[in-house]
């Protein structure tokens, strides 16, 4: 009996030690999210844990860490039945920082149809909803609202998950094509309109936020006065994916990318350093570049990725031809010193594709010359004047 008790105690202690491994528990949960938990073995899970630990070991140089993350990603993609293709080992290595956790901290989820927050400003007759780019928050519109507060009543939003707010709940299974987070955000905007009793607001969306402005204008023309697309795209441009890819091809491509859950969780300072490498793409003013970069690193990188990956599965090129409400499109034309100079042509090309139908669509396109991603920073006077003139062209609608 004593011998049996000691054996039982030994097994219990070893089981407890095995079960108490937070990284193993975390990775096992991710395999359920990826949909491979039933096809992988215990040995596969052991290898996954080992490769993740190795990738996050302190003391590795950049080449060694890139190799370790490449091995990790290749192994996971093999488990997912996607052995081909490139993996972002070098990018993951760039985000690694000493002292960071092997896994991200758990984030409480926002309630369904809940915004991050919003600020109401102004006293004008025309209500206007302002939706920032992913990563940003309502404050990027602060000066714009101050300058135009007598013409509009503003409702500036923060999407759930940014600027310290809770993200929406993660779906049970990885499938970005279901658009869970963007549909949730669009529903939250509709709820805000109802609560605030807005009379057919104008919806302005900046970059990724323009997706909601366009989608609501297309789906609810009776509730929307007009939409403003501030440097927004009809479809996201993803390296390696053809621009003319169908929706199903887009969904398949994005779902097969290496899972973001395997990326290192950087310290805030490391995340900021990475963001600052491309901060000159935001605007010309260096102080504002740093402000926006700081703002974008308040939230978790994986929250940004979830929104981006969902958006990458969409293409509104066909739907936009059914537009029934006025739309103002303001593409940024970067200056030659901007890292976004070449990519700004993509935006122009996408909207130029509507040129044959331009006369039959209520779309006004105004190029924001010598302007980087944030026209609110680089061309405030022109932005204000173009929007003011455009809103005076509205005809009353019953």
Per-residue model confidence as pLDDT tens digits over 245-260: 999 999 999 999 999 9
Of residues 88 and 86, more confidence is placed in: 88
pLDDT at 100 over 90: no
Q: Of the candidates 383, 369, 365, which has an alpha carbon nearest to the alpha carbon of residue 320?
A: 365
pLDDT at 9 over 50: no
pLDDT at 102 over 50: yes
Q: What is the mean pLDDT of the chain?
A: 90
Please state, in angstroms and rounded to a whole number, the distance separating the CA atoms of residues 28 and 103: 12
Calculate mean pLDDT across residues 25-35: 96
Segment (H or E) for 356: none
Q: How far is CA 196 from CA 119, 127, 128, 132, 199, in A?
A: 12, 10, 12, 19, 9
Q: How many residues are there in the chain?
A: 398
Calculate mean pLDDT across residues 148-168: 96
pLDDT at 164 over 80: yes
Displacement of CA 48 from its chain's centroid (Å): 27
pLDDT at 343 over 60: yes
Q: Where are the alpha helices (DSSP H) in 80-112?
A: 89-95
Q: Of the candidates 204, 185, 226, which has an alpha carbon nearest to the alpha carbon of residue 145?
A: 204
Q: Provide the pLDDT for residue 13.
A: 40
Residues above pLDDT 90, as percent of the chain: 78
Q: Of the candidates 183, 123, 180, 127, which has an alpha carbon nearest to the alpha carbon of residue 156?
A: 127
Residue 346's pLDDT band (cuts 50, 70, 90): confident
Q: Which domains does the chain have, with CATH numbers?
A: 2-95 (no CATH), 117-391 (3.40.50.1820)
Q: Provide the pLDDT for residue 290.
A: 97
Calculate mean pLDDT across residues 361-377: 94
Please state, in angstroms and rounded to a whole number, the distance separating the CA atoms of residues 276 and 288: 11
Please state, in angstroms and rounded to a whole number, the distance separating the CA atoms of residues 214 and 325: 10
Residue 19's pLDDT band (cuts 50, 70, 90): low
Calculate mean pLDDT across residues 262-266: 91
Partnered with residue 157 across adjacent β-strands are 118
Q: Provide the pLDDT for residue 355.
A: 58
pLDDT at 396 over 70: no
Q: Provide the pLDDT for residue 87.
A: 92
Per DSSP, the three-state class of 364 is strand
Residues above pLDDT 70, as percent of the chain: 93
Q: Please identify which residue in the block is written with the tokens 């949909």.
A: 35
pTM of the predicted structure, to 2 decimals: 0.92
pLDDT tens per residue, range 45-80: 999 999 999 999 999 999 999 999 999 999 999 999
Calculate mean pLDDT across residues 323-340: 92
Q: Which of 116-120, 163-167, 171-175, 353-357 has the lowest mean pLDDT?
A: 353-357
Segment (H or E) for 199: none
pLDDT tens per residue, range 299-331: 888 899 999 999 999 999 999 999 999 999 999
């Amino acid at each position: 009996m004593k011998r049996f008790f000691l054996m039982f105690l030994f097994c219990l202690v070893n089981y407890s030690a095995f079960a108490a491994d937070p990284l193993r528990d975390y990775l096992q949960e991710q395999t359920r999210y990826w949909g491979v938990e039933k096809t992988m073995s215990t040995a596969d899970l052991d290898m996954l844990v080992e490769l993740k630990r190795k990738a996050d070991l302190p003391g590795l140089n950049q080449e060694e860490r890139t190799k370790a993350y490449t091995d990790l990603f290749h192994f996971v993609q093999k488990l997912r039945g996607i052995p081909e293709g490139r993996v972002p080992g070098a990018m993951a290595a760039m985000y690694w920082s000493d002292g960071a956790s092997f896994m991200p901290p758990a984030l409480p989820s926002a309630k369904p149809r809940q915004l991050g927050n919003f600020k109401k400003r102004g006293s004008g007759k025309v209500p206007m909803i302002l939706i920032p780019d992913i990563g940003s928050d309502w404050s990027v519109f602060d000066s714009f609202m101050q300058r135009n507060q007598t013409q509009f009543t503003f409702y500036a939003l923060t999407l759930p998950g940014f600027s310290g707010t809770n993200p929406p709940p993660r779906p049970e299974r990885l499938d970005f094509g279901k658009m869970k987070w963007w549909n949730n955000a669009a529903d939250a905007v509709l709820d805000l309109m109802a609560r605030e009793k807005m009379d057919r607001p104008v919806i302005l969306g900046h970059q990724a936020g323009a997706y909601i402005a366009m989608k609501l204008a297309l789906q609810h023309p009776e509730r929307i006065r007009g939409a403003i697309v501030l440097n927004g795209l009809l479809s996201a441009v993803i390296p390696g994916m053809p621009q003319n890819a169908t929706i199903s091809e887009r969904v398949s491509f994005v779902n097969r990318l290496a899972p973001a859950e395997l990326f290192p969780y950087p310290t805030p300072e490391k995340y900021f350093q990475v963001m600052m490498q491309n901060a000159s793409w935001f605007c010309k003013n260096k102080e504002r570049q740093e402000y926006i970069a700081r703002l974008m690193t308040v939230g978790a990188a994986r929250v940004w990725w979830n929104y981006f990956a969902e958006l990458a599965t969409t293409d509104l090129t066909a739907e936009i031809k059914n537009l029934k409400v006025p739309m103002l499109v303001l593409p940024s034309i970067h200056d030659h010193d901007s890292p976004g100079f070449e990519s700004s042509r993509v935006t122009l090309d996408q909207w130029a594709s509507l040129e044959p139908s331009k006369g039959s669509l209520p779309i006004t396109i105004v190029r924001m010359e010598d302007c980087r991603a944030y026209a609110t920073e680089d061309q405030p006077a022109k932005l204000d004047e173009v929007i003011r003139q455009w809103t005076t062209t509205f005809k009353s609608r019953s």
